[in-house]
Structure 1
Amino acid sequence: MNIPVAEAKARFSELVKRAQAGEEIVVTRHGKPVARVVPAAVEDELPRIGALKGLIRIADDFDAPLEEFAEYMK
């Protein structure tokens, strides 16, 4: 949708609602595009619990004593 600046000022709330619904509004001055009103990009938030499930692997010997510390374990 193309709309002149003066009309865009008068109908700004409506234009924002339309952009939020996915429509692209081109604001014009003297018939030439000067700005666009588009929906904001929404970043998907990763869920905190289980977000990395399947991406991290813990070794089977993760909690096994380290050889370097054997003398401290006696």
Structure 2
Amino acid sequence: MIEVNLKEAESRLAELIEEAAEGEDVIITRSDGISFKIVVLPQEKPRPKFGSAKGLVEMSDDFDEPLEDFEALSNSDN
């Protein structure tokens, strides 16, 4: 854990941010005794937008027609 006062943190901010990014706890303390912690915020994964694949997927005209292979099997069951 790294603990620094506010004055020192001002001059080392980039370094302290790198330390926090690598998993180190970084605490900054003000002159009045109040402390703050630098934390890494998780990145949000982009969410797909409705309709974003429009025009990219095509279905054949006979998509929902019975398959020939299954017709032979269903006829042999009788």
Under a length normalisation based on structure 1, what TM-score does the superposition of the two structures give?
0.51
Question: Which sits farther off after the overlay, 25-34 or 5-14?
Answer: 25-34
Structure 1 position 30 matched with structure 2 position 3: no
Match of 1:52 in 2: none
| Percent of aligned positions that are identical | 28
Query: Which consecutive unaligned segments of at least 5 residues does structure 1 have?
Result: 48-74
Cα deviation, residue 22, structure 1: 1.2
Listed one character per residue, the Cα deviations across residues 34-66 of structure 1 (whole Å, up to 9, x for unaligned) are 32111122334568xxxxxxxxxxxxxxxxxxx
Which has the higher mean CA deviation after the structures are superposed, 16-25 or 27-36?
27-36
Counterparts in 2 of 1:17-56, with a 5 A limit? 17-30=18-31, 32-45=33-46
Task: Give the alignment's Cα RMSD to 1 decimal.
Answer: 2.6
SS in 2 for 1:32: coil
Distance 1:22 1:31, change over 3 A: farther
Counterpart amino acid of 2:28? V
Larger-gyration structure (1/2): 2
Q: Number of aligned pairs? A: 50
Q: Is this contact kept in 2: 1:23–1:39, CA < 8 A?
A: no
